[in-house]
Amino acid sequence: MDFTEIHKRSRRKKFQQIHQDRKDEMIQQLGRRFHNQPSTSATYPSAVEDIPLPSEVPNVFGAPPPLTNADFHRNFLVDPDVVVSHSASLIRSNRHIVKAEDAEQYMMVSRERVGTTAERVLEDFNSRVIKPLKAKRRLQIDVPYIDHPLHSMRSKTPERKENEEDSDSEIRSSDSSSDAEYGSDVEEEPDSCRRKKRTHKIQKADSSQTKVEEKERQNTLLRMGIERKRNHPNAIDPHISYNEKGLGNDSPECRCPFPIRNRGLKHGYYAGENQVLKCSKNDRANLHYYTLHVTPAPNESQIQKTQMLINGMEYHFEGFTMVTHAPLPDCMTRRPVFKYSIDYEFQLIEEFMPTECFDPEDCNSIFEYIFHDIFELLDFDLYPKHLPPGTASCPTIHIVPRFVAMENNTTFIWSSKTVLAFFLLHGKNNMFSPEDVEKNCAMSDDAFGRTIAKLKQSIVLNPMKKPSALRADWFSRDLENKEMFLIQNTIRSQNFASPFLPQIAALEKKMSRLKQEKKDSGNKNPHYENLKAELIVLKDKHREARQLKLKLPVKDYIDTGLKPDVVAHVAMAIIASHHIRYNFSLSVFEKVIEYKFNDRRIVELALIHSSFRSYYGTTPDHVKNMISNCGYRKKYGAEERREKKKGIISLFNIMGGETSGGEPILHNERLEYLGDAVVELIASHHLFFILNHHFEGGLATYRTALVQNRNLAKLAMNCRIDEMLQFAHGADLINEAEWKHALANAFEALMAGVFLDSGIAPCDAIFSKAMYGKDPEMKKVWDHLNEHELKIEDPLGDRDLSRITPALTDFHRLEQIIGIEFNNIRLLAKAFTRRNVPFNDLTKGHNQRLEWLGDSVLQLIISDYLYRNFPLHHEGHMSLLRTSLVSNQTQSVVCDDLGFQEFVIKAPHRKNDLKMKDKADLVEAFIGALYVDKGLEYCRSFIRTVFCPRLKHFINSEKWNDAKSHLQQWCLAIRDSRNPNPAMPEYRLLGIQGPTNNRIFRVAVYFRGERLSSAAASNMHTAELKAAENALAALEKASFSRMREKYMSGRQHRLHRIFFS
């Protein structure tokens, strides 16, 4: 073996040791957080004696302590607002607006300006501007698109797990040792099962290889798409991105299969847009006008603005007017709930507009010229798609540019014909004729600078180039050849990386390793500062490499008359158009579900899938290219960096309430978490009262069938949620299984939105209509609920019976303890009647059905409290907190605190010894009885008063998850970050011992094929928890030993080995 190989092995061994040390440190840090100890990661002990030993806690997953007066520091019945990020009311303006007659006469009467009249301006604009422009654009060379395969509608197969092949032998050896130890209790695996496992493993390997090949193929096609754009004959520069219809910067925008291209918002299909829209000059008074106000003002603190001076009045571009055929809904949100990656916001302001200023035909031509011909937003279309092909119709929204001037508290606004004359004035001729070029080349430098200063930052257009529109930052001239050039300072596209990126990445990785070595040893590496200086130089070179200065001949370029401030208004107009059309669709949706929302922000949030990140109303790359090529120039590198997530440690911070600076979660997963509890209670409520003689096992089976995703997806389609759901335009939700799962989640989110908006009753009505709307007979059965049998016998209450029945008299004392007086006290007695009590006429059975119902009530009220009071917690965070509150341990403490054990009605000759599960069932049965007797509001007051104050204990002590969850988090902490599917703890049954009525289950937990620990208990769940606790103790002890050895000096290490080995 040569010296190079030995050196490589030694370096690899060293890096492996460093990686292991980092894992040990993270495990120790998590252990301290788990035991509620202060962190010691910042400072290391100097001697072995200073190292703190791990806490000797036998069971860190204990129940919360009893409540005290200090726990009621706040009113748990008062909640903050659910959605506070957007106002839900439209603004109305009182400005006095009149038509700018002088501007129209100035633009048209004088023949030397545009040479037209108000009656002929549209015809002249089409013939002198639009027709030549389209003729030149047809001269572009048509280069075929790269053919990308469509997304598959088949279900995805699971990925291979981390270190699966390496762990197979260890798993087999561990299994054999387990079988040897408990051979009498575990049956040998049949050969057929082994063959199936081997076949499954081969299939997974083939699937993994196929995915690798498919990914490589996709990357190849992406590279081909980029090269096609770079080498296009009409491209002005290989490093400048441009727009093409249906195509992003590297691949087609839509690769959906043909069966699903005619549905969904992402394809432009909005619910309710199935009527022909016709408007003319005579209908202008019946239209509705809304000013699109963009903040901050795009031309604020800018010298170059879109404006024109006429008769001493300065008319500036104010934005766009959105003209609709119907008034916007009163409850419409002012802005979309979702975010978009632009530094501007918009508001729709209802404002008067003189009817003579608007002409539908003029506006359609202006829209086509600005959005399609200049900025090439070719996928932005406002015509309804539900109409048959070839059907003539107006667009759903007319977009009109606004040029205004203020004088004496009066706003003068241009008519659509004046706007046409403005574009005709600038677009009828080239920006510089050959005579102008020769004249400018003969000028002095000062005269040339003054002449072209007014053209600085103009948006110029050449329809024979890609991109057609550019921002002209400056102009230069070649005096020798008598030529003029436009200059644009821009940034290269992200697709075209500089050669310095690999070097920067290598240096950052090396510096990160040196930082860790300094942290471990405390000694600073002398080469660190040199590497840091080298990295700064490389980053400067990378910035310079991304800077690009374009120099293009001015031939065939025309001046559009627009400046970069128009770009932000155009982008906001696209987003506002989607927002308006979506809210009109929501009006149709409200008619379908027969419910009108008080606040539409909540329903918008309910219909946003988690894949939906940001939206521009059209192809995102088209908007980004427009901003880059035509918008105000931004300094490269000034953008803010996003804070990186810190994995498991951040989970502890979030759960502990350290959420400062967090952003709201703008998708429906939180609502889906709450809606799951809402749907479960609705189903439980109906089943409980309809099937009043079924036991809890049968009720649970029926409920599972009602709330499964397959059924909820059907209900979602009955509500037309499939037409309203907003999700990413990509491979997500293409296959049928994922699509139905998303629909089911959206239906649950809708139920949560209605619950937050108006309570549980409208949710019940919507669920009933979605389930049995097409079957009136079944709907009648579902809606007709029988009263509880005990309430039927005594409709006015049975409290008088308690005075003569000793078995009921004792419950008066319980009512005094809890502060609630039951109308039907026999219901309260039934809640405390255990299963082993014989049937009697007093309680009419035991409490198991009430316990089943109370569980659903408890889940909903706790979920509602967590959703309202923890707005920055994700679904998983709230699930952990809810699990800690509704666990058997917590409920048993509640049972003891309220003294429920004293009131249990037990069978004769039976001891009143209640286990933890029995106490939890008792509390749930009481909640079920309270729900039947008093309703949901009484249950809400009771649960929030008794349960919610205990949440403080779980958050402060960080004991909001059990041993299995914590072990899984530790395993995630030591995962390989490059592997998207890390290995997880696996629990295996080693054997079952004992007679049938007293079983002992032995369970072992494995990680990457290695057994961590084992335990035995009377049921599988408890055995798994104990095994996880033992594994946590062993894992913490092992990592602690390695860290202690790591910090020993050489002499201490030798002495330790002499005396303790």
Question: In Å, how far are 333, 336, 868, 890 from 582, measured between CA atoms?
Answer: 11, 10, 26, 45
Beta bridge partners of 483: 478
Q: Going by DSSP bridges, is the β-strand pair 91-92/410-413 parallel, antiparallel, or unpaired?
A: unpaired
- Please report how the helices 501-521 and 528-546 are oriented relative to each other, as an axis angle in degrees rounded to 10: 150
Whole-angstrom distance, CA of residue 398 vs CA of residue 321: 8
In whole angstroms, give the CA distance from residue 1047 to residue 1039. 13
Under a CB-based contact definition with an 8 Å cutoff, are residues 671 and 752 in contact?
A: yes
Rounded Cα gap, residues 148 and 257, in angstroms: 12
Q: Which residues contact 631 (CB under 8 A, 6 or more apart)?
A: 471, 564, 567, 568
Q: What angle do CA 833, 839, 842 make, to 5 degrees?
A: 65
**Cα 841–chain centre separation:** 54
CB atoms within 10 A of CB 402: 22
For residue 265, the tally of other CB atoms under 10 A from its CB is 21
> For residues 344 and 295, is the Cβ–Cβ distance under 8 A?
yes
Find, among 883, 888, 947, 890, the residue nearest to 917 by Cα.
888
For 694, the token pair is 């079924």
- Find out whether 437 and 557 touch, Cβ atoms under 8 Å: no
Number of neighbours of residue 298 by Cβ within 10 angstroms? 25
Q: Is 921 annotated as a binding residue?
A: yes
The tokens describing 609, both together, are 């899938």
- Asked if 159 contacts 208 with a C-beta cutoff of 8 angstroms, the reply is yes
Cα dihedral 554, 560, 566, 568 in deg (nearest 10):
-50
Q: How far is CA 492 from CA 88, 487, 550, 628, 1055, in A?
A: 40, 15, 11, 10, 62
Angstrom distance (rounded) from CA 788 to CA 690? 10
Q: Could you give the angle at which helices 669-690 and 736-758 cross, rounded to 10 degrees? A: 80
The torsion angles phi and psi of 118, rounded to 5 degrees, stand at -65, -30
159 annotated to a ligand binding site:
no
Q: What tokens appear for 561 in the block?
A: 């008359």
Q: Is 787 annotated in some ligand binding site?
A: no
Question: What's the CA gap between 71 and 752, in Å, rounded?
Answer: 29
The span from the CA of 617 to the CA of 572, in Å, is: 9
158: left (phi over 0), alpha (psi -120 to 50) or beta: beta
Phi, psi of 422 (to 5 degrees): -60, -45
Please state the three-class secondary structure of 716-751 as a single string. HHHCCHHHCCECCCCCCCCCHHHHHHHHHHHHHHHH
Half-sphere exposure of residue 529, counting CA atoms within 13 Å on the CB side?
2
Q: What is the distance between the alpha carbons of residues 474 and 448, in angstroms, rounded to a whole number?
A: 11
> Are 255 and 151 a contacting pair, CB within 8 Å?
yes
Chain centroid to CA 971: how far? 26
CA quadruple 419, 424, 430, 431: dihedral positive or negative? negative
Pick from 691, 672, 695: which is nearest to 683 by CA? 691
- Binding-site entries: 851, 921, 924
- Binding-site entries for Mg(2+): 851, 921, 924
